Amino acid sequence: SPRHSKLEKADILEMTVKHLRSLQRAQMTAALSTDPTVLGKYRAGFSECMNEVTRFLSTCEGVNTEVRTRLLGHLASCMTQINAMNYPAPPPPPPLPPAAAFGPPLVPPGSGAGPLPGMPCKPGADAAKAYGGL
């Protein structure tokens, strides 16, 4: 019957949406495990985009007030969810033995050693590029 086929199509659509959301979560998790700064960059980009939409809607005539209100409310709700996401907690550093606390530095000053692998140490210029829109 036609009614039955419409329900099946709706079920397929619902399953597709769930699958795509699951893929999106998996991609975000993989990206965060590779580069912990991804979430901050995503937040900054979303915030900048939201500000542009707000600016556009405030200058664009002919946009239905209800549509404008619903769109901005939706974006604000998304921003709240994005801000509620947490960075993965870094593992705690191992405790230092008492003698090591007063010994010579592990890396001599001026040796050119960079940040430890996996530690997000970025120069100020890189941070300004990533977060310049805030």
Residue 130: inside a domain: no
Is the per-residue pLDDT at 86 higher than 80?
no
Q: What is the pLDDT of residues 56-66, one digit of tens each?
A: 998 988 889 99
Domain, as residue range, for 58: 34-86
- 25 to each of 22, 31, 43, 71, how far by Cα in Å? 5, 10, 15, 23
Q: What is the predicted pLDDT for the residue at 3?
A: 57
Alpha carbon distance 128, 132 (integer Å): 5
The model's pTM: 0.47
Q: What is the pLDDT of residues 37-58, one digit of tens each?
A: 888 898 999 999 999 999 999 8
Q: What is the predicted pLDDT for the residue at 55?
A: 93
Residues 8 and 40 in one domain: no
Report, as an integer, the average pLDDT of 124-132.
39
Residues 24 and 40 in one domain: no
Residues 38 and 82 in one domain: yes
Report, as an integer, the average pLDDT of 7-15.
89
The total of structural domains in the chain comes to: 2
Residue 126: inside a domain: no
Asked whether the beta carbons of 71 and 19 are under 8 A apart, the reply is no
Residue 54: inside a domain: yes
